[in-house]
Amino acid sequence: METKKISVIVPVYNSINCLERCVRSLCAQTYEELEILLIDDGSTDGTGKLCEQLAASDARIAAYHKENGGASSARNVGLSMASGDYVGFADSDDYVDAYVYEKLVSALERGEYPVAQISRDEVDEEGKRLPDICVPPEKEWYCDSETFIKELLLHRGDSSFCTKLFPRKIFEGHRFPEGELNEDFRLLLDILQEIPGIGILPEQGYHVVCRPDSTTRKRTKDSFSRVFLDIVENADKVQTLVDRKYPALHDYAVRFNLYQRLDYMLHVPLSQMNRDNTFYTNVKKYLRRHTGDTIKNPYLTGKNRAYLLLLSAAPRAARTVHAGKMKLREKCGHG
């Protein structure tokens, strides 16, 4: 029987210090029938040249270069270049255990799952394990699409495309939304509506490296990542989807909407918390209109509820108190 080919798409931007580790982990896969597509998204630090050097070192690697447009646009270029039967993704910061793609292909080839997912862990730049964001199942598990959406709404599911292997045909008519930072969540919701579910493997074979200067973490006092706007907008979209197609998940979607706005309110700089900021004022109005949901929703924690009520009533004062608590915690942590 013909061996199926995998296309692994790696968007690359100014990753000169970590790209080689990522690519070497892909080259070391026990499943060898793959192509590795490095999509250089207009790097300025010499990463583009490194992509060419890596491509010259292994016939399975191909390097492409484009003007800077973000990870989604780079992934979309990769999808247009991919020739594999299956498509996977990796971020250039991260690395993958050697068995991952063999296990994912095996799961799909059994015909039980339309999409397969390996579990993940988070590590710091020195390789030290961090607390799990997505707790792996104890054993292999088929998660139907509605349950998967529920897990996403409870912030327990894994929306990352990097942990999953897809038949390439799934992306016919689908591309990553460009200009957004919550792009995986958005596209995965679209795909989940078209498939019955995802098979989840318990092995934590994909390693997410948490760097303090990454796109969603880099902050100064007054800088503000667009991701906190996108998560609110996507929360509204998922509420509409749930109420139309998955009404049993309504309360989970309400909880998700409130939590995403809580995340926004805890990160928006104090300097932007004013009436001239339309997005901020709309979030504040939303929280005040949904005070009843905040009090009654069974899926919010007591801490979530307290913060939401405080931020609804006196947002700037609540943020000042929160900032003081964070400084005290940081001081105690370094003491």
How confident is the model at residue 322, as a pLDDT?
77
When comparing pLDDT for 75 and 223, which is higher? 75
Q: What is the mean pLDDT of residues 200-208?
A: 97
Question: What pTM did the predictor assign?
Answer: 0.91
Neighbouring CB atoms inside 10 A of 151's CB total 17
Q: How far apart are CA 27 and CA 25, in angstroms?
A: 6
Residue 327 has pLDDT above 80, yes or no: no
Q: Residue 2: its pLDDT value, please? A: 74
pLDDT at position 218 is 46
Convert the pLDDT of each residue in 110-134 to its tens digit. Answer: 998 999 999 999 999 888 999 999 9
- In the predicted structure, residue 182 carries a pLDDT above the cut 90: no
pLDDT above 60 for 216: no
Paired with 12 in beta bridges are 40
Report, as an integer, the average pLDDT of 238-261.
97
Q: Taking the mean position of all CA atoms in its chain, how far away is CA 134?
A: 11
What pLDDT score was predicted for residue 180? 79
Tens-digit pLDDT profile for residues 130-159: 999 999 999 999 999 999 999 999 999 999
Check residue 224 and give its pLDDT: 83
Query: In the chain, how long is the greatest CA-to-CA distance?
Result: 66
Q: Could you tell me which of 310, 195, 314, 293 has the C-alpha nearest to residue 235? A: 293
Task: Note the pLDDT of residue 120.
Answer: 97
Q: Is the pLDDT at 213 greater than 70, yes or no?
A: no
What is the arithmetic mean of pLDDT over 205-224?
Answer: 69
Q: Which range (42-51, 70-79, 211-220, 283-292) has the least confidence?
A: 211-220
Work out the pLDDT band at 223, boundaries 50, 70, 90. confident
Percentage above 90 pLDDT, the chain? 84
Quote the pLDDT of residue 314.
93
Give the mean pLDDT of the chain. 92
Is residue 312 within 8 A of residue 288, CB to CB? The reply is yes
Q: What's the pLDDT band for 225 if we cut at 50, 70, 90?
A: confident
pLDDT, mean of residues 316-326: 79
Q: Give tens-digit pLDDT for 53-105.
A: 999 999 999 999 999 999 999 999 999 999 999 999 999 999 999 999 999 99
- Other beta carbons less than 10 A from residue 173's beta carbon: 8
Where would I find the H helices in 180-226? 183-192
- Which of 59, 69, 53 has the alpha carbon at shortest distance from 16? 53
Burial class of residue 212, CB neighbours in 10 A (0-12, 13-18, 19+): exposed
DSSP assignment of 6-55: EEEEEEESS-TTTHHHHHHHHHT-S---EEEEEEEES-SSSHHHHHHHHH
How confident is the model at residue 183, as a pLDDT?
87
